Amino acid sequence: MNEKPEISPRQKKRRRSKKTLRAEEVCWTALITALKGVGPARAATFAAARINSIGDLLTCYPYRYKDRPRLHRIDELTDGQEACLRVRVTGKGSNFYRGRMRMTQVPAVAMTPQRDRALPLEDAVEHRITLRWFNQPYRAEQFEPGTELVIVGRMRLKGEKLAVVVQECERASPDPTGSPGLGIGKLVPVYSKIEGISPTLLRKLIRQALDACQELPEALVPPELATDRGLMSLRDALWQTHFPDSGEVQEAARKRLVYQELLLLQLELARRQRAVKTPTTGVGLPLEESAWDEYAGALPFELTAAQERVLEEISADLAGPEPAHRLVHGDVGSGKTVVAAWALYCAVRAGKQAAMMAPTELLAEQHYRTLCALLAPLGVQPLLLTGSLPKPAKAQVRERLASGKPAIVVGTHALFQPGVEFSDLAVAVIDEQHRFGLQQRVALAEKGLRPNVIVMSATPIPRTLALTLYGDFDISVIDELPPGRRPVQTKLLPDRKRQAALKLLVEQLAAGHQAYVVCPLVTEGKKSNAEAATRMYENLQAELAAFAGGEEAALGLVHGQMPALQREDVMAQFRAGEIQILVSTTVVEVGVDVPNATAMVIFNAERFGLASLHQLRGRVARSSAQAHCVLLTTSKTPEVIDRLRVLEETSDGFKIAEEDLRRRGPGEMVGLAQHGLPDVHMAALLADTPTLVQAREDARALLEQDPNLQARGHKLLRQALKAVSAKARQWTI
């Protein structure tokens, strides 16, 4: 008989020190390899799911819960049903192939409790059953006969033979008073799938981390706020999220975690706003009352009450000692360009420079034409700077900006490229700001010494999203359309009724109007049956002829892959009325203003989001004439049809934006990364609006009392925000 070698005191001490070291290593910021059972290979698997540290693992929250109230009886199960069973292994397992699939089966008996009897199972009725696994050959020899397991899997019933395709299993708990295992009798968390990590292993590692992690970042919510808001401790919240005792306690745990995430988010936003709102960094623009009289008198139309309200807000920003940092958003056609033109005009009237940046050349050119028309009566001639301008024209614009003379320049990303130097940039307007990355917006702002920044969006933004992504901005809403504008009559039709859409086009052309036909693709894809603009352009003439008695229409084609000069030539012809129907992709979503265009047909509407479709149909709502939009879809999915019908039911962009946000699902915090903001894992945009408002109020109050978070109890918050700043540049707009 082999005796174990005697262990020396030095070896014992070394082993104890290793155990102590491992316990000390398991902390919130430690790598996940600090956990027992996580080596380099498994750590790489977790890293692919963006889980690198203990904190990452503990904030890998379930997205839903299963209620497994009890073990099942065999006689109540049907084929294909999910079963929760306690079984005893009765023999060795074996491996075999079924086709190319490697399978493992292990003989067992299901220990089914009799009716109206609870555990323990002394009087249980036993049924022979086969346990099966796919591609897990080690299961064949994993369990000794007599081992009791709790399993969850799909039942397979063939006559007298019973089998379970096992999804989860663990050794049964010997404690007859507690859960037998796998969370039976409790809520069971369901996590997003991590390839190579079973749900059982994930829960096991989370439990190990919670047991071993001595200190958690409790102070991410200062104690006084936790008390005021009635929040449980972070440790309890994590336990009750991953291993909830009940639905009520789990909801209380969620409340703590949601508040903690949103407090950090709102602290970062409030910190940014305080940074850009420092009086010493900006100089107010001198605004004489005569400036407003001149501007308003030069407009060829009456302003709406909403426009006047926003113009007053911007005037107050520009006159103040702090630089403006304002978001202006409103529905399609609400008149945001008029508001932007006022801010730009104020800059040049004060002898300074101003810039307006758009994401595409098409939109930049549209803004340039509009600004020329609005400001010409005031003696101001804007400049245009885009990538496709000839080199001599670019050089001339750059020279003018560098000279220090007052100027307004409209352009694309070419505005912030090397070689473009502003001498005194006082106002920067960024349109369709969501199409720019954080660094692009920062690059333009850094062309001046903290200029007044106004960002605009033609997509109405739900209040919750505005508080989330734009909490560091003052927010203005233009919620009124110019008088005389009528809602676009929108109709959803199956693609088989496309003839009705073509008939509408012919009728609008006969009335002297123009129209758009929008397709999701430029050219046909090998794996897609969606309509392509190039093929539509080739075939549309023949299809229209059937309704127009053989009379041909003047067609044009425009898409993003065309050379800029060719695209502009086509658009110029469309604006001049030489082209009656413009076939395009979503390149016309913004920046196209042709009042005579009153009809739009959108093919494969199911491929577009609600906000995008609303933007597109806004192209035919530029006059007092009744406009029409037909949405054609090949989809028969009820959820898709229901989503598209929202556009039939309302023309209110804010309602559509709310509906679009609601349909994205809980927990969808869009755009945080590109804004350089802290990640959130638990918060849901709509459901957690009250908590978001609370966190916003608390964050601002906290910074009022301790602007730099230097108090001892705020050290953890300060470190967390420092980590956020490492990912995003300090000056953000």
Q: Does residue 659 fall inside a structural domain?
A: no
**C-alpha pair distances (Å), 644 with each of 483, 490, 609:** 27, 10, 9
Same domain, 457 and 505: no
Locate 637 and state its tokens: 């999915």
**pLDDT band for position 725 (cuts 50, 70, 90):** low
Same domain, 417 and 474: yes
Q: Does position 600 have pLDDT exceeding 60, yes or no?
A: yes
What does the DSSP 8-state code read for residue 197? B
pLDDT attached to residue 16: 47
User: pTM value?
Assistant: 0.65
Name the nearest CA neighbour of 203 among 125, 148, 248, 150: 150
CATH number for the domain including 469?
3.40.50.300
pLDDT mean over 82-105: 89
pLDDT attached to residue 127: 85
Locate 105 and state its tokens: 């089966």
Q: Distance between CA 304 and CA 229 in Å, rounded?
A: 42
Q: Does position 253 have pLDDT exceeding 70, yes or no?
A: yes
For residue 41, the enclosing domain spans: 9-58
Domain stops at, among 653, 677, 708: 653
Q: Distance between CA 110 and CA 117 in Å, rounded?
A: 15
pLDDT attached to residue 277: 67
Same domain, 176 and 271: no
CATH number for the domain including 132?
2.40.50.140
pLDDT attached to residue 397: 92
6 vs 27: which has the higher pLDDT: 27
Q: Does position 12 have pLDDT exceeding 70, yes or no?
A: no
Share of the chain above pLDDT 70, in %: 85
Residues written for the chain: 733
Same domain, 639 and 516: yes
Report the interhelical angle of 247-276 vs 689-705 (nearest 10°). 50
Give the best-scoring range by mean pLDDT among 105-109, 273-277, 431-435, 674-678. Answer: 105-109
For the residues of 594-637, what is the DSSP string, one character each? Answer: -TTEEEEEESSGGGS-HHHHHHHHGGG-SSSS--EEEEEE----
Element (H, E) at 132: strand 125-134
Q: Does residue 140 fall inside a structural domain?
A: yes
Residue with tokens 């005021």: 228
pLDDT attached to residue 335: 85
Name the nearest CA neighbour of 276 among 310, 324, 328, 347: 324
Q: Distance between CA 558 and CA 562 in Å, rounded?
A: 7
The model's pLDDT over 200-209, given as tens digits with 9 standing for 90+, comes to 899 999 999 9
Q: Distance between CA 457 and CA 442 in Å, rounded?
A: 17
Q: Does residue 178 fall inside a structural domain?
A: yes
Domain stops at, among 426, 456, 478: 478
> Mean pLDDT lowest for which of 49-53, 433-437, 494-498, 576-580?
433-437
The model's pLDDT over 438-459, given as tens digits with 9 standing for 90+, comes to 555 555 656 656 788 898 887 7
Q: Does position 493 have pLDDT exceeding 70, yes or no?
A: yes
Domain stops at, among 165, 184, 203: 184
272 vs 718: which has the higher pLDDT: 718
Q: Does residue 579 fall inside a structural domain?
A: yes
pLDDT attached to residue 722: 83
19 vs 36: which has the higher pLDDT: 36
Q: Distance between CA 255 and CA 478 in Å, rounded?
A: 34
Q: Does position 40 have pLDDT exceeding 90, yes or no?
A: yes
Same domain, 457 and 327: yes
Same domain, 406 and 547: no
Q: Does position 256 have pLDDT exceeding 90, yes or no?
A: yes
Same domain, 508 and 471: no
> Mean pLDDT lowest for which of 16-25, 263-272, 512-521?
16-25
The model's pLDDT over 659-683, given as tens digits with 9 standing for 90+, comes to 877 776 434 444 555 456 666 777 7
Element (H, E) at 200: helix 199-212
**pLDDT band for position 19 (cuts 50, 70, 90):** very low
Q: What is the mean pLDDT of the chain?
A: 83
How many separate domains does the chain show? 5
Query: Bridge-partner residues for 427, per DSSP?
Result: 354, 452
Contact 447, 317 (CB under 8 A): no
pLDDT attached to residue 312: 93
The model's pLDDT over 105-140, given as tens digits with 9 standing for 90+, comes to 999 998 866 544 444 445 556 788 999 999 899 999
pLDDT mean over 245-254: 91
Q: Does position 320 have pLDDT exceeding 90, yes or no?
A: no
Q: Does residue 4 fall inside a structural domain?
A: no
Q: Does position 517 have pLDDT exceeding 90, yes or no?
A: yes
Specify burial of residue 423 (Cβ count, 10 A radius: 0-12, 13-18, 19+). middle
Q: Distance between CA 371 and CA 356 in Å, rounded?
A: 10
**pLDDT band for position 20 (cuts 50, 70, 90):** very low
Q: Does residue 663 fall inside a structural domain?
A: no
Residues 723, 728, 732, 733, CA torsion sign: negative
pLDDT attached to residue 113: 62
> Mean pLDDT lowest for which of 228-242, 254-268, 345-359, 474-488?
474-488
Contact 422, 445 (CB under 8 A): no
Q: Does position 572 have pLDDT exceeding 80, yes or no?
A: yes
Q: What is the 3-state secondary structure (H, E, C) of 150-163?
A: EEEEEEEEECCEEE
673 vs 344: which has the higher pLDDT: 344
pLDDT attached to residue 653: 82
Same domain, 294 and 262: no
Q: Does position 231 have pLDDT exceeding 90, yes or no?
A: yes
**Where on the phi/psi map is residue 517: left (φ > 0), alpha (ψ -120 to 50), or beta?**
beta
Name the nearest CA neighbour of 271 among 722, 578, 670: 722
pLDDT attached to residue 670: 46
Contact 109, 134 (CB under 8 A): no
pLDDT attached to residue 121: 47
pLDDT attached to residue 642: 92
Same domain, 422 and 325: yes
Q: Distance between CA 346 and CA 502 in Å, rounded?
A: 47
Same domain, 141 and 21: no
301 vs 731: which has the higher pLDDT: 301
Same domain, 48 and 124: no
Q: Does residue 347 fall inside a structural domain?
A: yes
Q: Distance between CA 581 and CA 506 in Å, rounded?
A: 10
Specify burial of residue 595 (Cβ count, 10 A radius: 0-12, 13-18, 19+). middle
Q: Does residue 730 fall inside a structural domain?
A: no
Same domain, 432 and 308: yes
The model's pLDDT over 685-712, given as tens digits with 9 standing for 90+, comes to 666 778 888 998 999 999 999 999 999 8
pLDDT mean over 313-336: 86
pLDDT attached to residue 433: 57
